[in-house]
Chains A and B, each alone.
Chain A
Amino acid sequence: GNSVTQMEGPVTLSEEAFLTINCTYTATGYPSLFWYVQYPGEGLQLLLKATKADDKGSNKGFEATYRKETTSFHLEKGSVQVSDSAVYFCALSDPGGNNRLAFGKGNQVVVIP
């Protein structure tokens, strides 16, 4: 079945540090890949997406590249800010899975001033 795996545990880092959150996936077809973000007290919102292999999604300084050969969609940001503190979810939408969005467990990111 379709699934998304994110690295275990929260991520704590200092302001202006480099952030990477790993995401790998398993899918039966040719999925689209997404990162959603949940800021404290708010609902989930789409951060970025990529719909085919080698596409790069980007938004708010975050980037993720769709790597079919490694079935990965790692999220990166070169210099984080305190306002980036949130929970980040990797997700996929697979036409072989009825286009339903499947989510990873999420990673809590805490940025310390």
Chain B
Amino acid sequence: GAGVSQSPSNKVTEKGKDVELRCDPISGHTALYWYRQSLGQGLEFLIYFQGNSAPDKSGLPSDRFSAERTGGSVSTLTIQRTQQEDSAVYLCASSLAHGRNEKLFFGSGTQLSVL
């Protein structure tokens, strides 16, 4: 497809379970970002990948969160031992490069509900 694709679109899980969220960026985009959107809050930066450089993980809220990007394309965000406060919409975005004027293209997000 032409846009950023995320899967699943909705995920319901039980507290304590692990979840994996997937992002397929736009082909050719070297920068990939994960954000979290909680109810009534803005978008919270989690992590970004730029080409082969080490990712910027400074936004990850705890060591239960991790992400990888294989082959410079698809990315997976993993949340271990999920907690109810992890419930949110997880957004992925990509851009041609990483820079202050770059336009980000967002996916439709994964709605995560932890019961």
Contact = CB atoms under 8 A, between A and B. Distances in A.
Interface residues of B, number: 26
Contacts of B33: 101
Nearest to A41: B108
B91 A105 contact: no
A101 B103 contact: no
Main secondary structure of the interface of B (DSSP, over half): loop
Interface string B62-106: 000000000000000000000000000001010000111111111
A49 B102 CA distance: 10
Interface size class of A (residues with CB under 8 A): 20 to 34
Contacts of A4: 42
B48 interface: yes
Interface string A76-108: 000000000000010101110011111111100
Closest 6 CB pairs of A and B: A103-B43, A43-B106, A105-B42, A44-B106, A93-B100, A103-B42
Interface of A: 4, 6, 31-32, 36, 41-46, 49, 51, 89, 91, 93-95, 98-106
Given A6-B42, A49-B101, A99-B99, 14 more contacts: A32-B100, A36-B106, A41-B108, A42-B108, A43-B109, A44-B91, A44-B104, A44-B106, A45-B106, A93-B100, A100-B59, A102-B45, A103-B35, A105-B41
Interface of B: 3-4, 33, 35, 40-43, 45, 48, 56, 59, 91, 93, 98-109
11 contacts: A32-B100, A43-B4, A43-B109, A44-B104, A51-B101, A91-B43, A100-B48, A101-B43, A101-B104, A102-B45, A105-B42
